[in-house]
Amino acid sequence: MLFSRDIFPGKDLIFIAEIGLNHNGNIDTAKKMVEEAGRAGADAVKFQTFIPEKMNSVFTGSLIKYGIEKEPDTKEVDFFKQFVLKKSEYNELMFLASKLNMEFFSSPFDNDSVNLLEQLGVKFYKIASSEVTNHILLKRIAKTEKPVIMSTGISTKDEISMAVDILKTNGTPDIILMHCVSLYPLPLEHANINRIISLKKLFELEVGYSDHTRDSKTSEIAAVLGARIFEKHFTLNREMECPDRELSLTPEEFSSYTSSVRLIKKILGSSQINFSDPEKEVARLARKSLFAKRTIPKGKALSPDDVISKRPGIGIPVYYLDSIIGKRTNSEIKEDHLIRMEYFD
């Protein structure tokens, strides 16, 4: 895939530490999180970029509760204001991530935030599940002509299809879908990991997994189904007060998480049918070769009664027997000696 080849060369698995809003708007906390994510084995760190006034209507509360605009309420806007970072702070974070051999990227929630991320020079974008139906934003992101990772939580098949079409027709060169269930944290019984298979089959795109569970089980299963890109929420410690604390992993947990998924990938193997190099010595010891059942004189036409199959398997394979029956020996072959091709004219 263009995405993994150009941005994550040589990596068969990609782990994203979703810092999101967990920095609480504090640049020092954000820097510490980037550093710890790097030490824990993350390949990328992801943030969220938005203008609070463009995220929520001041009538959000009454619209959700009553379905009509009553008294304006800035509670939602005020909530998101505490998580806003400055452009200069994003620059610091991007530089730090690069220094630690990680990619910095973000989920924008409005066109002005895309403009900001373009000024920073991000290499790719994340589209949050909530924005799959936001075609205004999708078109703006597509016009950057950069790869996109798109979560597919709270989205129908048709909505995902429309989003993919808009991205492709407006300039997005590469799309990776992320299976995602938008529950925080996600109960295991609602993980629906088989959805990865359906997304792959339907859209013929690579599918990763944005994991909102508390451990690695569902990601391990996702790896079995072919996922290579994994996103997991990240926090500094279990006591830290932050929006996604309930589903975030600490650095130690994130490190264990990546190790568990990598182990599953190793267990799955390459899918090649031929046996592997480590098995070659076993084959030499355990397989059988053609041996002389009795001493075979020089000039004799070899018959089946002259031959027996025995270990080790370093000589003529038994399946060659029919090819040498009837050939005349050019020297004597002693009993229980390997039958070698050079013994025949």
- Do 128 and 174 fall into the same domain? yes
- Provide the residue range defining the domain that includes 333: 277-343
Q: Is residue 182 part of a domain?
A: yes
Query: Which pLDDT does position 272 carry in this prediction?
Result: 87
Q: How many helices and strands (H and E) does the chain possess?
A: 14, 10
b (16+ CB within 10 A) / e for 22-44: bbeeeeebbbebbbbbbebbbbb
Count of the separate structural domains present in the chain? 2
What is the dihedral sign for C-alpha 19, 21, 23, 25? positive
Using only C-alpha atoms, the chain has a radius of gyration, in whole angstroms, of 30
Q: Among residues 177, 232, 182, 186, which one has the least CA distance to residue 208? A: 177
Beta bridge partner(s), residue 103: 44
Give the containing element (helix H, strand E) for 158.
helix 157-169
Query: Which pLDDT does position 132 carry in this prediction?
Result: 98
Q: What are phi and psi of 311, to 5 degrees?
A: -80, 155
- Do 189 and 67 fall into the same domain? yes
Q: What is the CATH number of the domain that holds 294?
A: 3.90.1210.10
- Write down how long the chain is: 345
Q: Is residue 4 part of a domain?
A: no
Q: What are phi and psi of 85, to 5 degrees?
A: -110, 150
Choosing from 268, 293, 326, the residue where a domain stops is 268
pLDDT classification of 2: cutoffs 50, 70, 90: low
- Do 195 and 309 fall into the same domain? no
Q: Is residue 40 part of a domain?
A: yes
- Do 100 and 134 fall into the same domain? yes
Query: Which pLDDT does position 1 carry in this prediction?
Result: 56
d(CA 137, CA 39): 34
Residue type, 223: A
Q: Is residue 2 part of a domain?
A: no
Q: Among residues 73, 144, 157, 75, which one has the least CA distance to residue 108? A: 144
User: What would the pLDDT profile of 257-302 be if each residue is shown by its tens digit?
Assistant: 999 999 999 999 988 899 888 999 999 999 999 999 999 999 999 9
Average pLDDT, the chain: 95
- For residue 110 the two structure tokens come to 């409005």
Q: Is residue 5 part of a domain?
A: no
Q: Is residue 240 part of a domain?
A: yes
Q: What are phi and psi of 44, to 5 degrees?
A: -155, 155
User: What would the pLDDT profile of 209-230 be if each residue is shown by its tens digit?
Assistant: 999 998 999 999 999 999 999 9
Q: Among residues 254, 184, 255, which one has the least CA distance to residue 213? A: 184
Q: What is the CATH number of the domain that holds 239?
A: 3.20.20.70
pTM of the full predicted structure? 0.89
- Do 164 and 285 fall into the same domain? no
Choosing from 268, 285, 305, the residue where a domain stops is 268
Choosing from 268, 294, 322, the residue where a domain stops is 268
pLDDT classification of 247: cutoffs 50, 70, 90: confident
* Vertex 39 angle, CA 37 and 42, to 5°: 45
- Do 262 and 290 fall into the same domain? no
Q: Is residue 89 part of a domain?
A: yes
Q: Is residue 140 part of a domain?
A: yes
User: What would the pLDDT profile of 187-202 be if each residue is shown by its tens digit?
Assistant: 999 999 999 999 999 9
- For residue 177 the two structure tokens come to 């879908």
- Do 71 and 148 fall into the same domain? yes
Q: Among residues 258, 17, 1, which one has the least CA distance to residue 148? A: 1
